[in-house]
Amino acid sequence: MSFGYQWRRCDASGGACVGISGASSSSYAVVAGDVGSTLRAVVTASNGGGSASATSAQTAVVVAGSSSMTFSIVAAGDDGDLTVAGPAASGYPPGTVPAVNTSGTVLTAGRRLAFGDYEVLVPLMRFATSGLPDGATIPSATLKIYVTKETDADDRSLTAEWVDGASTWPIDAGDFTLVGSGSALAGSDITGLDVGAVNSFALAGLSSVSSTGWTGLRFHVSGGQPTGDNYVQMAAFGNANPVAQLVVTYTTG
């Protein structure tokens, strides 16, 4: 399978989009002509059976005095999740070897007690951020994910931590952790997430955004032993809904 990209310049609400000449790679550096506009990427996947396209959510409005770049998940191996599961009668946390899934169309962050089993699900994703200028100052970064489903029996939050997007990949059982640091996202109440839409999260710890390689994130549902079902399901690479994006605002000089 091969992938093609076309960036489009849109109005402030993400409409009236026009293709940007020459903007056909997986990342795009904003220019003066983008100020006041938002940006979208159209990704086209092709194989012997044909082709299909999906359009990303729009970025924030481009502001004068700074630049931004939007990075999308570009391959199936760049996101996935790990699961440990076992009968509730055996205690918490489950003691099984983490099962790795990198081929599904959804990612799940969860801390679940459901159907007589405990499950802890931990997703990871990474972005190729080497297009950022060396030495750039990053005042803000926003993660955009499309939430497909959620449930929140124990009033939990979605958290995220930075991971090394080079050494952590390919995802394997050793990348599972039971508890996250929240270094990127201290917590966003699951009940407050907008299901069936793109949700935006302002990130912290921005020194972890790499300008020379990959930037990775690992997600958790907060808290310890659950008394009910708590999870967030989000669109993975290959889902018909918008793929995850990392929008980085930066200045130079």
- Could you give the C-alpha distances from 180 to 104, 112, 217, 220, in angstroms and in order? 23, 16, 11, 6
Q: How do the domains of the chain map onto residue ranges?
A: 2-64, 76-251
The stretch 178-206 carries a mean pLDDT of 96
Per-residue pLDDT band for 63 (boundaries 50, 70, 90) equals confident
Which residue would you say has higher pLDDT here, 218 or 3?
Answer: 218
The pLDDT of residue 28 is 86
CB count within 10 Å of CB 56 equals: 23
Of the pLDDT bands very low, low, confident and very high (cuts 50, 70, 90), residue 59 is confident
What are the tens digits of pLDDT across the range 32-41? Answer: 788 889 999 9
Q: Look at 28-32, 174-178, 183-187, 205-209 and tell me which has the smallest mean pLDDT.
A: 28-32
pLDDT given at position 134: 83
Is residue 221 within 8 A of residue 161, CB to CB? The reply is no
Comparing 62 with 196, the larger pLDDT belongs to 196
63-67, 134-138, 204-208, range with the lowest pLDDT: 63-67
pLDDT for 142-170, tens place per residue? Answer: 999 999 999 999 999 999 999 999 999 99
Tell me, what's the pLDDT at 36? 86
Kindly list the distances between the CA atom of residue 43 and the CA atoms of 66, 72, 168, in Å, as whole numbers in the listed order: 26, 10, 26
What mean pLDDT comes out for the span 40-68? Answer: 86
The whole-model pTM stands at 0.77
Q: Has residue 66 got a pLDDT over 80?
A: no
CA neighbor of 110 nearest in space, from 202, 180, 196, 201: 180
Assigned CATH class of 2-64: mainly beta
- Percentage of residues of the chain with pLDDT beyond 90: 74
CATH number for the domain whose boundaries are 76-251: 2.60.120
pLDDT of 64 over the 70 cut: no
Residue that the structure tokens 């099984």 belong to? 96
Per the model's pLDDT, the better-predicted residue between 204 and 66 turns out to be 204
Q: Is the confidence at residue 65, as pLDDT, over 90? A: no
Q: What is the pLDDT of residues 89-105, one digit of tens each?
A: 999 999 999 999 998 89
Looking at residue 9, its pLDDT comes to: 94
When mean pLDDT is compared across 55-64, 165-174, 207-216, the lowest value belongs to: 55-64
Query: Residue 253 pLDDT more than 70?
Result: no
User: At CA 209, angle to CA 213 and CA 191, rounded to 5?
Assistant: 125
> So what's the pLDDT on residue 133?
87
Predicted confidence at residue 204, as pLDDT, reads 95
